[in-house]
Structure 1
Amino acid sequence: MKKLFLLAILAVCSLASGANDGVNFMANLSKACDNGDANMCSLAAELYQNDQSIADEKKFFKFSKKACDLAPNDVYAVNCHNAGMGYYEGHPFKKNKKEAARYFKLACENKKEPHFQSCAVLGMLYEKGEGVKKDVAKAKKLYAKACDNGYGAGCASIGLIFHNMGNITKAREYYEKACELGFSAVCGF
């Protein structure tokens, strides 16, 4: 992570030094990414998302997907999540819930830095049977994983499952935890 931070500082300095230098820097990042350097793919994705002078949504998703594909079990869970969102929402990739689920699973199960929002989104896909076989038990486990790791929407989602099952006491426990985590939609339920 420290290496990526230092590379980001270098990128900002290069981009700030002049338009041609910035274009050359991004071309070099792209080349390094194409040569299999997941760090450079991740950095390019971050720059295409956050640097307003070069912001480009399609390139952001392209480099996020490439970083995830190159290093799915490294510290690139956010890139896998971003790729999943691109497939889930249908832009810039063709809408494909099965591919979205695959990328959300990679992000959720990341060995170094799991992405707990991805766990919750994957849980929703299992709950609805979108892109995966419907499995409410698996959805509950994924929501619980997200909730237990501080993602309030995961708590609210598992609370709603318990609510729909008629277990209001258990639902309230999860709603209260969601509220404590800042997910205000269920506060006071």
Structure 2
Amino acid sequence: MKKLILGTILLFSINLYADFADGTFEYNAGNYEDAMILWDGACNKGDAKSCHNLGLILYTGKNIKQDYPRAAKAFSKACEKGISTSCFSLAVMNLRGSGIKQDYVKGVDYFDKACEAGHSYSCYNLGNIYKDGQIVIQHFEKSKKYFTKSCNADNMPACYELGNLYVRGKKEYIEAQKLFSKACNGGLSYGCLNLGILYLDGLGVKQNKATAKKLFLKACDDGISTACEHYKKLK
């Protein structure tokens, strides 16, 4: 299974809870303990964003004592109130067993909850989970569904992985070409590499070695060694 990364974004938008605003001020001033106390108070009063921020600083342990169990409780409160990033964070904690009992079922469920709320990286992670089949039964159609949702939210790695599934499955090169093109145009070098291979071999597109060469060069310039090898063969 690919490495999972915990969300690291604090929420600082307008909020009706004074303690949330005061906590934000203290955090920005470098007074992390004070921020934690204020966010804890607001969280206990029902403010979801304060719960998320509290969970994140407790998880990262930035200038305060790291406390995974408390972080999980804070994330849980925020997740229940619709903060998708907190659901994502809980998913990662459950899959890793970070300070809580490792639970793959809960981890997948939290990713699914976050994905349904529009968290594209949760959808992407679910796509990988069902593609790899290490902690769930391998299911390529579910993988496609989650990658599609993530790609539609402009997550370029998801577009790339979805393109790979179209190639490896029923050899649907036309669909794969669209996805690799989106990934390449979105700045993902491996999308350019795979798109170049389609043009080189005439798969789903009219064969065009000149276009393939340009795509290989683009990916090569970004450090993709396989693309450099293809480019040299076309020089």
TM-score tier by shorter-chain length is: 0.7 to 0.9
After superposition, residues 116-155 of structure 1 pair within 5 angstroms as: 116-129=156-169, 134-155=171-192
Distance 1:118 1:63, change over 3 A: same
Q: Structure 1 unaligned runs (5+)?
A: none
Picking from 56, 63, 70, the partner of 1:8 is: 56
Q: How many pairs are equivalent?
A: 176
Distance 1:163 1:57, change over 3 A: farther
Q: Identity percentage over the alignment? A: 28
For the residues of structure 1 that align with 2:227 and 2:127, how far apart are their CA atoms? 26
Contact 2:130 2:143 in 1 (8 A): yes
Picking from 199, 211, 218, the partner of 1:170 is: 211
| Greater RCO, 1 or 2 (C-alpha within 8 Å, sep 6+) | 1
For the residues of structure 1 that align with 2:180 and 2:225, how far apart are their CA atoms? 17
Matched, 1:45 2:86: no
Q: For residue 110 of structure 2, what is the amino acid of its counterpart?
A: F
Question: Higher Cα Rg: structure 1 or 2?
Answer: 2
TM-score, normalised to structure 1's length?
0.77
Provide, for residues 6-31 of structure 1, a one-character-per-residue CA deviation record: whole Å limited to 9, x for no partner: 452243349x747xx53243144335
Contact 1:49 1:55 in 2 (8 A): no
Distance 1:85 1:105, change over 3 A: same
- State the SS of the aligned residue for 2:59: helix
Q: Structure 2 unaligned runs (5+)?
A: 1-8, 12-48, 231-235
For the residues of structure 2 that align with 1:149 and 1:55, how far apart are their CA atoms? 38
TM-score, normalised to structure 2's length?
0.63
